[in-house]
Amino acid sequence: MKQFLNIAGDPTASPMDNIPPVAEFRDAMRHLASGVSLVTTMGADGRRQGMLATAVSSVTADPPTILVCVNRTATMHSALIEGRNFCVNFLGHAHLELSRRFSSSEARDSRFDADRWTTLSTGAPVLEGALSALDCRLESAVEVGSHSVVFGKVMEIRVAPTSVDKPLLYYDRQYGAFVGV
């Protein structure tokens, strides 16, 4: 059984006591602006799969490692775990239509049709024209609630030449673009 550090000082308190309602948590998280990433994988069956993600973060630079949170009910979850590879493609404002296509379950079979794709070391699909792409080998996955926190060792990096495109952002259930101050 996992040990929990109880900073409140009550040794009988459970970490699940007095947790806020899910809806309240989701409403609070709507106020965190996040970059939009397209996470792709080549499943063990040879099929390309992808999903949009805002829960992406660097873990360490040495060795380069990132994490992505993936809902365990997502179609690509098992493909990512079994294929043991994924690529995080950072999207720019020019990728708005692509992001809408990947957010719709209706277009699942044609998601990869309209854009140019390549592969790097792991074989995961890499979006040509992404602001940056991190090609990763799955290192580990930890189940937390409804999601798996997937850790990837970055095997190869592709960075687009300096361009006028700005990162695509997601805030309060809307897409937006970065504006410097």
What is the distance between the terminal CA atoms of the chain, rounded to a whole angstrom? 48
CA angle 39, 66, 179 (to 5 degrees): 70
Identify the pLDDT of residue 4: 44
Task: Give tens-digit pLDDT for 122-144.
Answer: 999 999 999 999 999 999 999 99
Range 58-62 average pLDDT: 97
Question: What are the chain's domains?
Answer: 34-171 (2.30.110.10)
Task: Give tens-digit pLDDT for 152-163.
Answer: 999 999 999 876
Quick check: 86 pLDDT over 50?
yes
Quick check: 164 pLDDT over 90?
no
User: Which three-class secondary structure state does DSSP give residue 96?
Assistant: helix
Does a cis peptide bond (omega within 30 degrees of 0) precede residue 63?
yes
Instruction: Tell me the β-bridge partners of 170.
Output: 34, 175
Torsion (CA) 162, 57, 103, 169 in degrees, nearest 10: -50
Residue 114 confidence class, pLDDT cut points 50, 70, 90:
confident
H or E element in which residue 101 lies:
helix 96-103
User: Which three-class secondary structure state does DSSP give residue 3?
Assistant: coil
Identify the pLDDT of residue 87: 98
Residues 6 or more apart whose CB falls under 8 angstroms from that of 173 comprise: 30
HEC string of 48-76?
EEEEEECCEEEEEECCEEEEEEEECCCCC
Residue 104 confidence class, pLDDT cut points 50, 70, 90:
confident
Identify the pLDDT of residue 128: 93
Residues 6 or more apart whose CB falls under 8 angstroms from that of 79 comprise: 41, 43, 44, 45, 47, 49
CA angle 168, 169, 171 (to 5 degrees): 155
